[in-house]
Structure 1
């Protein structure tokens, strides 16, 4: 690969038995290369070009492609017929697919994007799907049938008010949604819950991580409250970043280990729901830039005896961590190894209900101007493991 190469020599198209080809992000791929090199096994990415470069239909004959493929600048796709020529459904050796729209300004092509994405249906063997900059309102129907999908990432799909149905995808392990700026609710559509069914359903049966970032209009994350449904049985990590308007969240996470919440203006209501008394599996907790959070739940530390990392930053109304008065040392989380607290100007005391545990290895407290007391259990010999 040559860093300064701008375009492939057209003569490369004569190497009809070529299997693998590698090039940098600025290289232009001539149409002839895609048309003739039908034996290619690897092709890192293809950039569509409305004027001089390849159209997506040129991918139609590359059915031996393996592993991963990125298709960029899909905004230059001429029409539905051209998209159908790509024949992604026949590329059974592809396991990773990235589809990218790169609008430089406001787009009014919602219907066009929806049609294009609908016909770009990949083979059912696909395991990893990333969609960037999609300006449609609805996601494609073929996602309902993508049972081998393990990972989905949505980024900058700003016109989607809802989200795709994911709850019944049996192998889905990771979901990341970033800058879904028009998404307002995660409800029954997200879960795919069937009210009419009398059978016991398991939704998101394999999901381990869920990241929702910069969803600034997200207001509700509803809970499926029925005895016939089990939700998130394997979910270990939840990240909510920049969800400033979120007002509700589920309360049942039987396997949750890591919770990260950064940027929220709801007075800690979603936090209180997630950190309900039923949560006993937490090992890491990070809370930052949450307005209206006055106190963490009293039983948080008592119930989560495997909690090893806790970080609380920029919670300006926080006055209390743990129970307000001493109730013995049962609230001491014996597994806590690292505690970071910063930017909490109203926090006056780490109360005796939260004594600094014997196991603590790292303690950081900064910009807590009202802090008066840091309780330590003297009969335990101070903090012998502090590094």
Structure 2
């Protein structure tokens, strides 16, 4: 009789149980103590398992116990999966209810933490929010932005009356200024002197008087480390029916405490920025500066602006008229330039420590400027976005081609790019290559990939014209992860993938013309994960048989 191995199942069960305890499931259903007791019991079982599995051959009773334990463990795993699924459904329902919450009942008045980050449709906070006098943390909305082109704002329209009375409040992720009659102005921030961490102020176009902005008293909030200031993005003053003639004075009045380390300003409609923005004198600890969507900005009101010597990250996005009159500090390691004038690309030339570079929205550029990319010997990550007329990457290294130090290269939505035959030859250290939605790309030939012997991850997605059978995989000897998505030309997997003997994970999504997978995939010794999503129905049917392969974890489903 074969040995009964239970340890891996119990380990997985313990991991899932720990994950369930870490969520709010126990509190929601009143079983938190029961789950913790079960976890303790499971620890006791695990402590004797190794010894039991060793002795089962000689002791029949131990073998019977292990068999029953194995059945119970599988049943428990199924129950926990059901619990996790039910919790997700209940959590979604609760979030939907919170979206329509208008008042705070007495049970919530003593709550200290209110997290509404998952309530993305939340438009209104409770009118009697001021009753939550012990509230220390109020989180609204999700991350500041998903990516630079897709800033995600909470849909909150205004702040309720009396929010300034919450003097215990230490974290307020978002404050919205509004013209609504039942809302408060920006001056309500004056009393919230204990705010710390991140603060986003949205709707600055509705600040009628710069003196109100001054009363917000940001300059005294010494525990604020990250500040995001937002005017409307992508709309004109006429569209929103307001005038922003006082925007410079408002921004001047919102000067924060010198302890701020991160500053982002969005949609500022003025021509000149106040001297404190990014100044080494006003913000000596600043490590992150982002300026977004400023079509009118030409520079700073102070001609002797000097950026802090500790500045690490700089983002300049859609500021086409902006001119930096002073050199950038050599401390910058992460630079994003987008939808600006071509001279802004030359900023990189004098940044010897630059390791991350993002180039975005230069839609008139047919090739990347050669000189600025020369001698970036510390460059590790390069991402190119939305350069619609880009025809090629820099080729010859001695004339400014891409540095061999680059470990990750991403090419996103470059519709004019037809080939990567040239431009990759020097990237001998490249570990990750992402090619997304390059609609004209037709080939990734041998000359493109033959030098990428260090490549570990390759993602090709949404390239409608790419003939995947012409992609040469045989030189990708280090490849561990391969993702192919939304490729209508993919009708069968290229046989050269057989040479990727280190391939561990293969993901195929949205390839409607792929009907089957080759049997030789099973001969890849390192392959342990196969994921097939939203492909041809016949492929999904065939993949059901692959679930029986012991060493291979198969994820096979169609998403609605």
Whether TM-score is above 0.5 comes out as yes
**What does residue 388 of structure 2 align with?**
244
Is the 2:200–2:228 Cα contact (8 Å) retained in structure 1? yes
Give the CA deviation at 1:95: 0.9
Match of 1:168 among 286, 311, 328: 328
State the structure with more CA Rg.
2
Is the 1:49–1:76 Cα contact (8 Å) retained in structure 2? yes
> 1:148-159 counterparts in 2 under 5 A?
148-152=285-289
Match of 1:296 among 440, 444, 455: 444
Distance 1:286 1:110 in 2: 41
Give the CA deviation at 1:4: 3.4
**What does residue 213 of structure 2 align with?**
83
Is the 1:151–1:175 Cα contact (8 Å) retained in structure 2? no
Give the CA deviation at 1:75: 1.5
The structure that is helix-richer by fraction is 2
Going from structure 1 to structure 2, the CA distance change for 1:20 and 1:283 (only over 3 Å counts) comes to: same
Match of 1:264 among 404, 410, 414: 414
**What does residue 11 of structure 2 align with?**
none
Is the 1:320–1:351 Cα contact (8 Å) retained in structure 2? no
**What does residue 161 of structure 2 align with?**
30
Higher-RCO chain (CA-CA 8 Å, sequence separation at least 6): 1
Is the 2:260–2:286 Cα contact (8 Å) retained in structure 1? yes
Is the 1:147–1:170 Cα contact (8 Å) retained in structure 2? no
Going from structure 1 to structure 2, the CA distance change for 1:253 and 1:138 (only over 3 Å counts) comes to: farther
Distance 2:228 2:415 in 1: 34
Distance 2:424 2:269 in 1: 37
**What does residue 129 of structure 1 align with?**
263
Q: Is residue 2:191 matched to residue 1:74?
A: no
**What does residue 197 of structure 1 align with?**
none
Going from structure 1 to structure 2, the CA distance change for 1:249 and 1:31 (only over 3 Å counts) comes to: farther
Distance 1:167 1:322 in 2: 46
Distance 2:179 2:210 in 1: 15
Distance 1:314 1:32 in 2: 47
Going from structure 1 to structure 2, the CA distance change for 1:346 and 1:7 (only over 3 Å counts) comes to: closer
Going from structure 1 to structure 2, the CA distance change for 1:368 and 1:333 (only over 3 Å counts) comes to: farther
**What does residue 198 of structure 1 align with?**
none
Going from structure 1 to structure 2, the CA distance change for 1:173 and 1:236 (only over 3 Å counts) comes to: same
Distance 1:173 1:293 in 2: 31
Going from structure 1 to structure 2, the CA distance change for 1:218 and 1:154 (only over 3 Å counts) comes to: farther
Give the CA deviation at 1:359: 1.3
Structure 2 residue runs without a partner (length 5+): 1-97, 104-125, 141-155, 297-317, 395-400, 529-560
Give the CA deviation at 1:294: 2.8
Going from structure 1 to structure 2, the CA distance change for 1:9 and 1:293 (only over 3 Å counts) comes to: closer
**What does residue 100 of structure 1 align with?**
230
Query: What is the aligned-residue RMSD (CA, Å)?
Result: 4.9
Match of 1:50 among 171, 179, 201: 179
Distance 2:230 2:458 in 1: 37
**What does residue 250 of structure 2 align with?**
116
Distance 1:83 1:11 in 2: 25
Range that drifts further, 73-82 or 314-323: 314-323
1:24-64 deviation per Cα after TM superposition (whole angstroms, max 9, x unaligned):
66773436826x94x86443332223354333344356554
Give the CA deviation at 1:336: 0.4
